[in-house]
């Protein structure tokens, strides 16, 4: 193999070998950190698997509990990071923050500086969330951007844009759809979509 370096101990075998300079630099840095004892390849793999296990379903679970249990909802809105530990989710040291939609308020989340997202809870963010178009426009013309997602809001509804500029990670608590009285938490959780947790969808449908 000549001077080909063996990445087998540090690189995920199902990934192709990187070809760009940036990807090679990232790989080299990771190998140096592992060689230096900062973390092990097994620890890295555990984090990757935890991230891959995350999905919007986790958000649906939290939302459904909040709809069913007003006291949990109060704790969730007051200090999200602590409240979700009750359901087995731990995002510390990130400050997990939940934003409640109501008839008069609509929340939408963005990260203008990069693409911050509660990934360890909700999984990978959608491609459009990372696009320059969404990031640049939703802060200055949120109503137009929301309309493109099919969310038309009257001028009596206050739009709150949340720019994730530092340590907080946000999730929207959408409104509970009408006609779901008596539904189980599991049934309610299934109504919640990824976009409703970001705020680019306002109305959840019961099918």
Partner 1 sequence: MTLPLYRPGQRVRIADRTPATHHRVPAYAKGQTAVVERVCGEHGQPENFIRGNGEPLTRLYRVRLLQRELWPDYRGSHLDKLDLEVFEHWLEPAHG
Give the interface with partner 1 as residue ranges (CB under 8 A).
Answer: 93, 95, 97, 112-113, 139-144, 155-168
Q: What share of the chain is helix, strand, coil (3-state, %, to 5)?
A: 45, 10, 45
CA-CA distances (angstroms) from residue 14 to 11, 17, 24, 98, 195? 9, 9, 16, 36, 30
Q: Which residues pair with 172 in a beta bridge?
A: 99
Q: For residues 27 and 159, which CB has a smaller minimum distance to partner 1 in the complex?
A: 159
Assign residue 102 a region: left if phi > 0, alpha if psi is -120 to 50, beta otherwise?
beta
Structure token pair of residue 67: 């709809």
Closer to partner 1 at the Cβ: 43 or 141?
141
Q: Which is nearer to partner 1, 26 or 53 (CB)?
A: 26
CB of 148 to partner 1, least distance (A): 14
Helices 41-53 + 21-35 axis angle, to 10: 120
How far apart CA 174 and CA 118 sit, in angstroms, is: 16
CB of 144 to partner 1, least distance (A): 8
Closest to partner 1 by CB, 161 or 190 = 161
- 164 membership: H or E segment, kind and range: none
Residue numbers annotated as active site: 111, 114-116
Report the 10 Å Cβ neighbour count for 143. Answer: 17
Is residue 152 within 8 A of residue 203, CB to CB? The reply is: no
């Amino acid at each position: 193999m000549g001077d080909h370096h063996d990445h087998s101990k540090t690189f995920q075998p199902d990934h192709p070998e990187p070809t760009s300079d940036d990807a090679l630099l990232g790989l080299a840095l990771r190998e140096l950190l592992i060689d230096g004892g900062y973390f092990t390849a097994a620890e890295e793999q555990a984090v990757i698997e935890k991230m891959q296990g995350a999905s919007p379903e986790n958000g649906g679970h939290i939302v459904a509990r909040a709809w069913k249990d007003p006291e949990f909802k109060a704790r969730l809105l007051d200090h999200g990071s602590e409240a979700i530990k009750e359901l087995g989710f731990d995002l510390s040291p990130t400050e997990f923050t939940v934003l409640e939609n109501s008839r008069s308020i609509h929340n939408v989340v963005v990260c203008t500086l990069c693409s911050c997202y509660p990934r360890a809870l909700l999984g990978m963010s959608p491609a459009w969330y990372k696009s320059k178009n969404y990031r640049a426009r939703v802060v200055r013309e949120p109503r137009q951007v929301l309309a493109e997602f099919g969310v038309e809001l009257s001028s009596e509804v206050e739009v709150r844009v949340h720019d994730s500029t530092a340590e907080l990670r946000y999730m929207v608590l959408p409104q509970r759809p009408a006609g779901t009285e008596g539904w189980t938490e599991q049934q309610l959780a299934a109504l919640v979509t990824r976009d409703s947790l970001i705020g680019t969808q306002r109305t959840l449908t019961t099918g």
